[in-house]
């Protein structure tokens, strides 16, 4: 699902998905060690340098649903897999995937030439 980050707290990010908000727990933001910077109100990945801030548009996957009455239902979200997270993260994943496929094609072509 696509949504906007509306609030950051030390344990995760709240994402507005239409009429509901979902929580992306800090462990589900990305596949990196994430630290919360209270002064800048943002999350930063230690190895990747990925930054998540309020008003970022993101793509997340629903991993848990807890139904309640009215607006008391809760959604658990994840952005750890490829092609999830901020749009710039997704673009980087697409470019990496494309480069990987091109490298495989090139290697296969080189191996065919060697066999001939």
| pLDDT tens string 7-16 | 999 999 999 9
3-class SS of residue 94? helix
User: For residue 70, what pLDDT is reported?
Assistant: 64
User: For residue 113, what pLDDT is reported?
Assistant: 62
Cβ within 8 Å of residue 17, ≥6 positions away: 1, 2, 3, 60, 75, 77
Q: Hey, what are 41's tokens? A: 């109100």
With cut-offs at 50, 70 and 90, classify the pLDDT of residue 112. low
* CATH entry, 2-86, from 3.40.50.150, 2.40.50.140, 2.60.40.10, 3.40.50.1010: 2.40.50.140
Question: Tens digits of per-residue pLDDT, 23-69?
Answer: 999 999 998 999 999 888 999 999 999 999 999 999 999 999 988 77
Contact 81, 90 (CB under 8 A): no
The more confident residue out of 9 and 101 is 9
pTM: 0.81
Cβ within 8 Å of residue 26, ≥6 positions away: 10, 11, 12, 34, 36, 43
């Amino acid at each position: 699902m696509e949504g906007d980050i509306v609030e950051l707290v030390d344990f995760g990010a709240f994402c507005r998905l239409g009429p509901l908000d979902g929580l992306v727990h800090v462990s589900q933001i990305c596949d990196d060690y994430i630290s919360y910077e209270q002064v800048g109100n943002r999350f930063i990945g230690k190895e990747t340098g990925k930054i998540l801030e309020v008003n970022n548009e993101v793509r997340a996957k629903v991993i848990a649903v807890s139904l309640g009455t009215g607006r008391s239902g809760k959604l658990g979200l994840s952005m750890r897999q490829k092609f999830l997270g901020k749009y710039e993260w997704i673009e980087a994943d697409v470019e990496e995937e494309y480069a990987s496929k091109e490298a495989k094609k090139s290697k296969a072509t080189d191996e065919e030439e060697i066999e001939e």
